[in-house]
Amino acid sequence: MPGRPDPPRPIPGPAPWRGRRDAILTVAAGALCALAQPPLYLLPLLFVGFGLLFRRLEAIDRPGPALAAGWLFGIGYFSAGLYWLGLPVVIDVPGDLTRDLLLGAGLVGFPAAAVAAGALGARLTARRRVGSAAGAAAGAVLVLALWIALAVAVLPGRFTWMIPFNVFGLGAVLAATTAAAAGIAWYAAPGGIRRVLALAAAWAALEWVRGTILTGFPWIPAATVWAGLPGAAQSLAWWGPFGLSLVTVALAVLPAALIGRPCSIVRSRRTLGWAGGVAAMSGAVLAAGFFTVPATVEAVPGVRLRVVQGAVAQSLKWRPGARRPILLRYAALTRSEGFNGITHVVWPETALPYRLQTRHAAVAVEGDIRRLLLAAIPDRGVLITGANRDAGRDTWNSIHVVDKAGEPVSTYDKHHLVPFGEYVPARAFLGRIEVTKIAHGRRDYAFGPGPRSIAVPGAPDASPLICYEAIFPAEAVGARRPGWLLNLTNDAWFGNSAGPHQHLAAARLRTIEQGLPMVRAANTGISAVVDPWGRVTGLLPLGARGVLDADLPRARPPTLYARYGDLVFLFLLLAVAALSRFAPGRPAEAPRPDAGPRERTSKPPLQ
């Protein structure tokens, strides 16, 4: 109508938070980042996933949605990256097809039903006093209750009902760290390059927290995406995995900071200069290692290794009738062609189904069992094997170095046990409601004294790491520096999934950090010998049965990380935090000449 002013036009900028669609997109962004982890190593998806998270943060104007965005991103990241944690709870179910169907029901059917029920609940209650959020939660909880009832009453397996908790529940808990990182980045930095640095620093700092609190779980840090390219991962020797994660996230987020508002960004030479500087420094850190890694590494003289991979199914491992056949398998593999030239035989975690130190006669190494074991020990060497041992009421998950007389000359007891796998936390309370551990036996394993080196006759001292002890960078070595890392594990729990590949990748990071080679024996794979630069020099693939004969690579001098640990990362973190105060934020929009007063003042300058 004549005389009526035109309605104010919206200020161009990032799209607002749009509810369910944005939530789904944020979860998907986290899942895309998980695909950059082993075994796929789809590195371009890291840029896409982190870029979507950054753009989402740029579109948010309140702290609550920023925290929610980080939490949803983390749920997608950890649920997709750790999907294989659903396998251990169905390991007691006979038949590969049955296990796969149960896993599919828990990982696909359950979330699909929960989302559908949540959407229906939200729709039915949208106009009622309780609100759509409460209706969605009620629908999802109802599906969860039905799943538990169905799994307990009908589906096979004692722990099948735990699949959603192991994957999505754990993912939601771990996502608290990504929520905190996103919230810190949103609050501390007004967009632009400043937020790039803030998000990278917060992400790395919260990875350190995740690896420390509540016994820690530093699985699939951002740094692991470079395990397949050891040259790019050599900065681990300076500042460890969390420092490399900071560099990785900064590089992955950076392109998203240059997308959108093209006119403002082109005019900001300062922004482009900072972006170029961050890209150049991150690229230099990743590229430097390719020029410093030597072509070959010397071997320790007089040491010839034989790593034995027995490929014993987890369903057979603890059956009393399978003990002798398992020992016969390992003995036969050990004494196969080339045995006469071997000095050190390495068997995986709990490969010996009997006990060298025990009060139980049924599992004692005596008589014919002792003769079989002695036949697997080289005449001029030792056998290194995983085996349980007990004394009094305590049982340990241990490593023995056994000489030709069949006596343990060194013993190491696992100290970092798997919660609910090897022990039940807060057993005084949880034991009353019949919560049990997943691993064999009802009694908890006892904790060993901690990281330390053990003597290995005929070879340098070794730092033992049993199973997932290899994922903790600060616990790879004890007070006395060893000559090599020894990782014995049983990854049969995780089947033919991403889990064993991620486990090996984490172990490879420890070699670069410490400048030490690693010998890794895994029951079903992946067994390997890794040099101190993180390169695999020999490997037995997942699921294979056989032996790996190899030399022991010589260690490097102690690295910066080996000397000072995470202190170097702390200095890097403080430096990046200080530097971010000078970095440009999101360039401000210049108001249009025809804009009204409210429109001119609705978004303050951010640079």
Q: Report DSSP letters for 467-496, one per residue.
A: GGGGG-GGGSS-SS--SEEEEEE-GGGG-S
Q: For residues 68 and 51, what is the distance between their CA atoms, to the nearest angstrom?
A: 17
**For residue 267, pLDDT beyond 90:** no
Cα dihedral value 234, 239, 245, 249, nearest 10: -100
Q: Where are the beta strands (DSSP E) in 347-393?
A: 382-391
DSSP bridge pairs for 548? 307
Task: Report the chain's mean pLDDT, rounded to a whole number.
Answer: 86
Q: 76-80, 86-90, 289-293, 590-594: which has the highest mean pLDDT?
A: 76-80
Which domains occur in the chain, in start order?
Answer: 20-92+157-292+573-587 (no CATH), 93-156 (no CATH), 304-551 (3.60.110.10)
Q: What is the pLDDT of residues 14-53, one digit of tens each?
A: 444 456 788 889 999 999 999 999 999 999 999 999 999 9
DSSP bridge pairs for 520? 487, 528
8: pLDDT confidence band, cut at 50, 70 and 90?
very low
Closest CA to 294 of 39, 537, 480, 127: 537
In the block, tokens 């057979």 appear at: 316
Q: For residues 365 and 93, what is the distance between their CA atoms, to the nearest angstrom?
A: 30
Which of 33, 207, 317, 349 is an active site residue? 349
Q: What is the pLDDT of residues 283-320, one digit of tens each?
A: 999 999 999 999 999 999 999 999 999 999 888 888 88
392: pLDDT confidence band, cut at 50, 70 and 90?
confident
Which of 207, 414, 422, 469 is an active site residue? 414
Q: For residues 472 and 242, what is the distance between their CA atoms, to the nearest angstrom?
A: 11
Q: For residues 201 and 573, what is the distance between their CA atoms, to the nearest angstrom?
A: 6
Closest CA to 56 of 453, 48, 528, 353: 48
User: How buried is 62 (Cβ within 10 angstroms: 0-12 exposed, 13-18 middle, 19+ buried)?
Assistant: exposed
**For residue 265, pLDDT beyond 90:** no
Look up 467 and say whether it is catalytic.
yes
In the block, tokens 């603890």 appear at: 318
CB 378 within 8 A of CB 362: no
What is the percentage of the chain residues whose pLDDT exceeds 90? 60
Q: What is the pLDDT of residues 466-520, one digit of tens each?
A: 998 999 999 999 999 999 999 999 999 888 899 999 999 999 999 999 999 999 9
Residue bearing the bigger pLDDT, 30 or 115? 30
Identify the pLDDT of residue 351: 94
One-letter amino acid for residue 426 of the chain: A
**For residue 600, pLDDT beyond 50:** no
Closest CA to 372 of 346, 384, 388, 354: 354
- Phi, psi for residue 533 in degrees, rounded to 5: -105, 5
Look up 349 and say whether it is catalytic.
yes
- Phi, psi for residue 212 in degrees, rounded to 5: -120, -50
Q: What is the pLDDT of residues 269-286, one digit of tens each?
A: 888 888 899 999 999 999
Q: How many alpha carbons lie under 13 Å from residue 331 in its C-beta half-sphere?
A: 17
Q: What is the pLDDT of residues 215-263, one digit of tens each?
A: 899 999 999 999 999 999 999 999 999 999 999 999 999 999 888 655 4
Q: What is the pLDDT of residues 163-215, one digit of tens each?
A: 888 899 999 999 999 999 999 999 988 888 999 999 999 999 999 999 999 88
What is the percentage of the chain residues whose pLDDT exceeds 70? 86
Closest CA to 248 of 193, 201, 299, 295: 201
Could you tell me the CA-to-CA distances from 275 to 14, 105, 268, 278, 448 in Å, in that order? 20, 45, 11, 5, 48
Average pLDDT over residues 344-349: 97
Stated length of the chain = 607
One-letter amino acid for residue 203 of the chain: W
Identify the pLDDT of residue 12: 45
The mean-pLDDT minimum among 108-112, 221-225, 253-257, 425-429 falls in 425-429
Q: In what order do the strands lie in the sheet with 484-489?
A: 462-466, 484-489, 518-522, 527-530, 536-540
Residue bearing the bigger pLDDT, 601 or 418? 418
597: pLDDT confidence band, cut at 50, 70 and 90?
very low
- Phi, psi for residue 207 in degrees, rounded to 5: -65, -40
- Residue 377 in 3-state DSSP? coil
- Phi, psi for residue 548 in degrees, rounded to 5: -120, 115
The mean-pLDDT minimum among 7-21, 349-363, 511-525 falls in 7-21
In the block, tokens 């980080």 appear at: 70
Closest CA to 50 of 332, 252, 269: 252
Q: For residues 474 and 77, what is the distance between their CA atoms, to the nearest angstrom?
A: 24
For the beta carbon of residue 295, count every other beta carbon within 10 angstroms. Answer: 4
**For residue 118, pLDDT beyond 90:** no
Identify the pLDDT of residue 524: 94
Could you tell me the CA-to-CA distances from 411 to 88, 385, 399, 552, 569 in Å, in that order? 28, 10, 6, 21, 33
439: pLDDT confidence band, cut at 50, 70 and 90?
low
Interhelix angle 63-81/20-34, rounded to 10 degrees, is 40
Identify the pLDDT of residue 135: 63
Identify the pLDDT of residue 96: 75
**For residue 7, pLDDT beyond 50:** no
Terminal-residue alpha carbon distance, the chain:
40
Please, what's the b/e burial string for 329-366 (b: 16 or more CB within 10 A of its CB; e: otherwise)?
Answer: bbbebbbeeebeebbbbbbbbbbbbbbbbbeeeebebe
**Hey, what are 494's tokens?**
């995780």
Q: For residues 244 and 246, what is the distance between their CA atoms, to the nearest angstrom?
A: 5
Identify the pLDDT of residue 437: 62
The whole-model pTM stands at: 0.88
Closest CA to 399 of 423, 382, 379, 422: 382
Which of 33, 207, 317, 467 is an active site residue? 467
**Hey, what are 47's tokens?**
């840029």
- Residue 559 in 3-state DSSP? coil
Q: How many alpha carbons lie under 13 Å from residue 459 in its C-beta half-sphere?
A: 36
In the block, tokens 């039903």 appear at: 113
